[in-house]
Structure 1
Amino acid sequence: MEAYRHYLQAELNIWLFQMKKPPGIMNRMTRGVQKRINDLLPEKLHQAVTLAIENMVKAVMTGSKWVLPKKDPSLSLKTREMKVRQRIKWYRNTASAEGALTGAGGILLGLADFPAFLTIKMKMLFDIGSLYGADMKDKKERLFLLYIFQLTFSSQQRKNELIQIIEKWESFDPGIPENLEGFDWRTFQLDYRDYIDLAKLAQLVPLVGAPVGALANYKLTEQLGNNAMNCFRLRLIQQKNLPG
């Protein structure tokens, strides 16, 4: 078990290095182009998209009565993480199949992929949190999932900012009520949309939509799962609460 803890710490250190590295030239250029495009869009459109994503995420996070994996405090860290990886694999394959199906259907089904894929990703985060022993009925734990989501689907510059919050999560006071009012939904939707636009745009194109949708959903889900694992690992180490 001690060997596994060393392995976990090494993997976590590599991940932290990636989250904290400064933005590269291409990253800054891409972010600059996206900002200019966003500045050209009408304010009413930004408000409409922000409200739509806010309502979708809130519905998934506060209204769903999901069956979560059963907590078992007796599980070793290695066994616990094996179960987490199995869940990530299952959601990754499910998201890939869903992306292929909607991608094959052209524009209309491609647009339907957005809420379906969002639900898959959020459900996976709930399962991972539960397997790591978090109380997913707790508002702060659900908010933690939103920060993991943002960390995954954002520019390197935003990653640098968000990882600082996640590293200090135990002492972080978000001051956000149960209904998640006050959360910065506009930044949330801009980060998410800017990050996945290029990956998902080709999904709407006939013929190539199915393979693109399958691959994009596969990669994005795997990336989110890996980030969630390391975020919860970081908290367990800081709490000195690693399972035996």
Structure 2
Amino acid sequence: MNEYELKVYDEVQEWKRRITKRSGMMNRLSKKAQAKVNEVIPEKVHEIMTESIKSMVKATLFGSQMTTNRNQAEGLTLEGKDELVRKKISTYQKTAMVEGAGTGAGGILLGLADFPLLLTIKMKFLFDAAAIYGFDTKQYEERLFMLHVFQLAFSSDEIRRNTLFEIENWESRKQVLAEMDWRKFQQEYRDYIDFVKMLQLVPGIGAFVGAYANNNLLKNLGETAMNAYRLRLLQKAPEL
């Protein structure tokens, strides 16, 4: 490893410590309450929601793949790639803020449109991040990895720890993980953003909440993706 890679290694270790740290009391109570709600939702509703999210994500993956520039980071060092990803995060945060403010200001009907629009922005960012770090998103396993990065960013303590394990051991685990657990994927994501997205529908504060929430959601996804891909690259780097 060179000097910059050693610096990144320390940053990745600190990131892993932070995301595996136990959530606060309020977050844990909120998760328990959401779990109780999920228990009383009819199974047919769960199935419909799971299929809806699955179809939405797969359509977004296809569209993002078609519009991603795969040669945008040719010849860049890891430091150069990190800098480019940071710029991408900033750009996507601004886009998400505008989208969140617009749908939040529009009341319930436009507020409901925020979900697929924000999902599209998030997935498009993940494709850009993967391309910058040199991973071929035409490969199924790389698109599956992106979904695990997404789940790592938006999940509860236990799922986050399990997902980090899969990401850290991707080369050996990718053959086992033939398909995403879509039921778990949609429940974790929905539970993670439920409360703030409900506030986004409230007249008068929806625009502010939408912009603020979307900015933070993209910031979280950006940090997660950046460190997940750095982790994979560092595993390939020659040791001192």
Q: Tell me the number of residue pairs that the alignment of Structure 1 and Structure 2 aligns.
A: 238
| 8 Å Cα contact 1:56/1:115 also seen in 2 | yes
State whether residues 68 and 126 of structure 1, in contact with CA within 8 Å, keep that contact through their aligned partners in structure 2. Answer: no
Structure 2 residue corresponding to 1:196, chosen from 179, 193, 198? 193
Counterpart of 2:53 in structure 1 is 53
How far did 1:24 drift? 4.5
Return closer, same or farther for 1:164/1:49 CA change in 2, 3 Å cut-off.
Answer: same
Question: Which deviates further from its counterpart, 82-91 or 2-11?
Answer: 2-11
Shift in Å, 1:175: 4.7
TM-score, length-normalised on structure 1?
0.92
Q: Does 1:82 align with 2:83?
A: yes
Q: Residues 127-158 of structure 1: CA distance to partner in whole angstroms, max 9, x if unpaired? A: 00000000010100000000000001101121
- Is the contact between residue 22 and residue 157 of structure 1 (CA under 8 Å) also seen in structure 2? no
Note the aligned Cα RMSD (angstroms): 1.8
Which is worse superposed, 104-113 or 20-29? 20-29
1:48-75: CA deviations, max 9, x gaps? 1111100000111135511325254421
Supply the distance in 2 between the matched residues of 1:163 and 1:176 (Cα, whole angstroms): 14
CA separation of 1:165 and 1:176: change in aligned 2, threshold 3 A: closer
CA contact (8 A) 2:22 2:157 kept: yes
Query: Percent identity, aligned pairs only?
Result: 47
The AA in structure 2 aligned to 1:145 is M
Alpha carbons of 1:26 and 1:205: their partners in 2 closer, same or farther (altered >3 Å)?
closer
| Alignment partners' CA distance in 1, 2:61 and 2:238 | 26
Using the TM superposition, give the Cα deviation of residue 6 of structure 1 relative to its aligned residue in structure 2, in angstroms. 2.8
- Contact preservation (8 Å) 2:144, 2:180: no
Distance (whole Å) between structure 1 residues aligned to residue 93 and residue 200 of structure 2: 17
Q: Does 1:128 align with 2:125?
A: no
- 1:194-233 C-alpha deviation (Å, 9 max, x unpaired): 0000121111111100000000000000100110000000
Aligned: 1:36 with 2:16: no
Do the aligned partners of 1:155 and 1:195 also contact (CA within 8 Å) in 2?
A: yes
Q: 1:34 to 1:144 in 2, by over 3 A?
A: same
Instruction: Please point out which of 234, 237, 240 is paired with 1:240.
Output: 237
Map 1:136-151 to 2 at 5 A. Answer: 136-151=137-152
Q: Measure, in 1, the Cα distance between the counterparts of 2:67 and 2:96.
A: 18
What's the counterpart of residue 110 of structure 1? 111
**Map of 1:206 onto structure 2:** 203
Aligned residue type for 2:128: D
Q: Which segments of 5 or more consecutive residues in structure 1 lack a partner in the other structure?
A: none
For normalisation by structure 2, the TM-score amounts to 0.93
For the structure 1 residues 174 and 185, does the alpha-carbon distance in structure 2 shift closer, same or farther, using more than 3 Å as the test? farther
- Name the SS of the counterpart of 1:136 in structure 2: coil
CA distance in 1, matches of 2:73, 2:105: 41
Q: Which runs of 4+ in 1 moved over 6 A?
A: none
